[in-house]
Amino acid sequence: MAKRRKIKKSAILVAAIILFFVVYFISFTVSSKVSDKSSESTVNLKTQQEDNRSLLKQLSSKEKIYLSDDVVSDVRIEEEILDELRYSFEDVSKIRTPETYNPTYNGYSDDGLKFSTDLNVIRIYTVNSEEYYKIPVSSKEEFKNILNKAIYTSFDFVKQYKSWKEVKITYKDTTKNLSKWKYDDLANTMAAKRVVGKVQPERSKERSKYNFIIDIKAENYEVKIETMGEDYVKITSKELSSYYEVHTALYNYIKDDVLKLNN
């Protein structure tokens, strides 16, 4: 009996030691994670506090910016058009708070920096501060075109088929009205790779056997999409245009499923 008691005591002692180290290890791991998160938050806060650049400089450095007007909301600006917007900021000059200000465009970055404009003045602001910049009269029309181009020739925007009211597809002298129940099928084939210049798409159009025009009438805007061979499209709206390299699904869907030219 004495030996059994000694064995039990030894086993209990070993189990207690193991349990102690397990608990210690778990506590150490949890504590380390909490400490890391705390340190990370401190670093992020410190980084934010140390960004003493002007709000204009901060906005110019953002990679993701979303834009709205009185018709549409939250359209992400394509990278190439975002470069045009950054370039236009070079012409503005800082001013005091204007007496009257009624913005027609509003935007924000992915980390919460906001801005707006009435095409005379740009307001850039956060919770704690704001800055105003005057747009030169000579640059107003160009600035407006950049904003409209960013919204209305955005590939992701024009493919939002729930706002479509009428869609016509034209090939040479043939025009076909697309049935509303096929709007989502058409939209699902619209997949852009990137914004491109006009030279390569125009050359592709000249070489292509088939080229199609898609005219879309939506609730508050109209847009024309021209296929330029299999790999490119030109989007035109409000007399502004952008060229995109695209996947071939759109071209093939119109040729094979809508117009059935392969038959």
- Kindly write down the DSSP assignment for every residue of 43-101, as one continuous string: HHHHHHHH--S-HHHHHHT-S-EEEE-SS---EEPPHHHHHHHHHHGGG-EEEPPPS--
DSSP-assigned letter for residue 86 = H
Using only C-alpha atoms, what is the Rg of the chain?
A: 29
Nearest to 206 by CA among 197, 214, 198, 217: 198
pLDDT recorded at residue 52: 84
Q: CA-CA distance, 132 to 138, in Å (whole number)?
A: 18
Name the packing angle between helices 140-152 and 79-88 (round to 10°).
160
**What pLDDT, on a 0 to 100 scale, did the predictor assign at position 42?**
47
Cα separation, 90 vs 76, in Å, equals: 22
What does pTM read for this prediction?
Answer: 0.74
Residue spans of beta strands (DSSP E) within 156-252: 164-171, 174-177, 192-196, 213-218, 222-227, 232-237, 240-246
* Confidence at residue 43, expressed as pLDDT on a 0 to 100 scale: 46
Q: What pLDDT score was predicted for residue 228?
A: 97
- At position 99, the amino acid (one-letter code) is E
Tens of pLDDT along the chain (263 residues) come to 554 555 555 666 666 677 766 666 676 565 655 555 555 544 444 444 556 899 999 999 999 999 999 988 899 999 889 999 999 999 999 999 999 999 999 999 999 899 999 999 999 999 999 999 999 999 999 999 999 999 999 988 898 899 999 999 999 999 999 999 999 999 999 999 999 999 999 999 999 999 999 999 998 889 999 999 999 999 999 999 999 999 999 999 999 999 998 75
Q: Residue 107's Cα: distance from chain center in Å?
A: 12
Query: Alpha-carbon distance 222 to 150, whole Å?
Result: 15
